[in-house]
Structure 1
């Protein structure tokens, strides 16, 4: 464990995010493209994911204390913010294998007066996680945010977190999770995917599904509590239970989606055999996506807790997204990206409010999606959605 700061060769700048003061590599703030990886990495554009982490752990720890392992903490931006902003009953263990990043993380803990609730170590993440139970260390939550795929760390996190705890996984290799790189998806996540207009949903459900299957192989159940995806990353928060029965129950929510690239039909599939199926709308060949998590990817009570925390902090942009997400609980596991669908059909994008009103007036549920700014989630049949889009298109 680090107890003193060695000479740090990283040129640092002070940066305020949320309610937390952070020392960050100056080069990461000046970069016009992706921030430099070395000597230490910080992405200012990932503030939204750190905001949601603050809200999630605040809601999770509102009744009980929480011990969080930030297994790949980098300079500590997320872990320090959680310790500083999510509640005084949270302890955070920050770890990274990069010595320069660890030194900056320690300085950030000191800068925010958190040394009584934060520990900082320089270790291999998997070694730390697998060795923790033997040393009598228990974590209520483990957060894994690597460069690229979380696959190399998933088994260790799912095996180490205490029963009833949370494992949070971040993936930035979205090409593998959205069908842009089918081979990478098969290799890393054991999924067969195709490009769709609801690719963010596919990414979240593919990552959640992979995690559920890895947990089941250890006779542990897992279920998503929250998920958020943007153009750079997919992130899922999973509660982990501990029995073969829990694993079996989790696996019951795995399945396949069907998608027609000709007419853009989408629905829940049944076979998972990879055989071609006929689209019920246009007669084209359906493509299967999966296996995916098809159950709710948002837990109503956890999202409500996050919304309360966002409202208390005056984070109106985050509150707006969370309110949309609350409306999506219990809805189908896909949405319609109005811009992508309209472009494919040669239409102008209809007004969002007009389409929602048209679908609800016919007795269907229709809400704006928190996954995509122009996303509509509805239980209306595909034909009805397309008919209303055509009717409302101004072109």
Structure 2
């Protein structure tokens, strides 16, 4: 009987997966080596060509590449270009050019590089770079990286590295990088401890997470194991996911007297991507508890209340004093629908973005990028978001809870604005309602809407949640007259704000792999096709 072994890494997720046949005489690693050594010239040179941005790369098809993440790479290149301008020394009048190494430029580590595409794009598109290290654990990937560095003539800036990502970053705790980019397959948490130590004070950390099922509440116990927080199945689960990742990064940074400052955090397609600056300061780390909160989520009407872990107070001398909040912030059952609460978190409850940085980024994004329209649209929506309001409601969920016709977005936003509250979209959901109004106000507006568009008596009687919510009388009447600011500028300008998915190649895809005896594996699959049907007929 023949067996299959997988060569992978406990520490690395973008890696080479090789299928080999077990032999009692020849060790499996010798089989892999002999197979590679005897590979024909045609197989070795049969490469897939990829053009993206200013880079052109070739791969033998063994390493990970996802064309849908062009948006991710375009945005990352734009953010780094804006970051370079922001960290330039005061009075530095040097005119930086892309593709030229500068002694005073920034150093970049792409810890999980795969084809090397991202690093090569950084080298050719970002002015003011000193050097870039493109690292991967897979030997096949490093061969591709070296080939692509030569193909793009960026050997003066990009250097390949064949190392475990965590060990490489631990080795650079003293000789730190200005920028570290982590874009693994799945959960990034295993890389964070080394990453927060290997980035310079004021440096930039870029982190991607694609394990959205875990972060979005499908497996809260797994989320706690990986990120140290409980996820929730809630309509604003994508924002909860971003905030869980941020608290995880902050937790790792605090262990070394460091803290983070998010400048841009997004949730798009099948992943989340955060851009945070890392600073050193033990005193500032004490403020972390005031940036984190637990979330009380109603299991009936989807309302939520945040409970901060700590609060800041100022004494008569304007000195900051640290205190603990009292709680819980809710009754045992929800005051709106009478259901119980789930408790999630802790999550990051401070702002997700730096409006000043986002504004600069919008003005500096290159119009030649393949996803320029989408980048501009999403960044514009982000700039319109209420940065001091964590989480959001969704319009259809509010209407569904009381079994009523869904109001138009303009009508609902107008009701909030007419009442003196602030409201915005979230870039994460096209029906999102992000507002500083209390949940009581939100439900009072829905009760007023129901008066104008009554739900059927049968619907109200059959649904306990709807009947309990509608049984309460609104404290005041809310006007749905159209407010002049009800339609945001991003929509008026016709920007591409919410891209329809799925597109081709949508999703995180499979782990990169190089298959040996692949024909045998394929023939086995073909042999098993229709096996159950054949057995039943016989």
TM range (shorter): 0.7 to 0.9
1:199 positional shift: 0.6
**Which residue pairs with 2:153 in the alignment?**
113
- 1:62-73 equivalent positions in 2, closer than 5 A: 62-63=85-86, 64=88, 65-73=105-113
**Which residue pairs with 1:3 in the alignment?**
none
Q: Greater shift after overlay, 255-264 or 332-341?
A: 332-341
TM-score, normalised via structure 1 length: 0.86
Structure 2 residue 121 is matched with structure 1 residue 81: yes
**Which residue pairs with 2:240 in the alignment?**
202
Task: Specify the structure having the higher radius of gyration (Cα).
Answer: 2
What SS does the corresponding residue of 2:192 show, helix, strand or coil?
helix
Match for residue 132 of structure 1 among 148, 169, 172? 172
- 1:88-167 equivalent positions in 2, closer than 5 A: 88-89=128-129, 91-133=131-173, 137-167=175-205
- The whole-number CA distance in structure 2 between the counterparts of 1:338 and 1:80 is 43
Structure 2 residue 53 is matched with structure 1 residue 15: no
1:202 positional shift: 0.4
- The whole-number CA distance in structure 2 between the counterparts of 1:386 and 1:86 is 48
Match for residue 304 of structure 1 among 359, 362, 376? 359
RMSD in angstroms over aligned alpha carbons? Answer: 2.8
**Which residue pairs with 1:381 in the alignment?**
438
Which runs of 5 or more structure 2 residues have no equivalent in the other structure?
A: 1-36, 89-104, 309-325, 456-538
Could you tell me whether the CA contact under 8 Å between 2:386 and 2:424 is conserved in 1?
A: no
- 1:1-40 equivalent positions in 2, closer than 5 A: 9=44, 11-24=46-59, 39-40=62-63
What SS does the corresponding residue of 1:62 show, helix, strand or coil?
helix
Could you tell me whether the CA contact under 8 Å between 1:145 and 1:171 is conserved in 2?
A: yes
- The whole-number CA distance in structure 1 between the counterparts of 2:115 and 2:277 is 26
Structure 2 residue 393 is matched with structure 1 residue 336: yes
- 1:161-180 equivalent positions in 2, closer than 5 A: 161-180=199-218
**Which residue pairs with 2:307 in the alignment?**
269
Match for residue 47 of structure 1 among 52, 55, 70? 70
Could you tell me whether the CA contact under 8 Å between 2:173 and 2:197 is conserved in 1?
A: no
Distance 1:338 1:83, change over 3 A: farther
What SS does the corresponding residue of 1:163 show, helix, strand or coil?
strand
Residues 330-361 of structure 1, C-alpha deviation per residue, up to 9 Å, x if partnerless?
33110123344444544454333333233222
TM-score, normalised via structure 2 length: 0.64
> When the two structures are aligned, how many residues end up with a matched partner?
376
- The whole-number CA distance in structure 1 between the counterparts of 2:366 and 2:442 is 33
1:250 positional shift: 3.1
- The whole-number CA distance in structure 2 between the counterparts of 1:119 and 1:11 is 24
Bigger RCO (CA 8 Å, 6+ sep)? 2
**Which residue pairs with 1:31 in the alignment?**
none
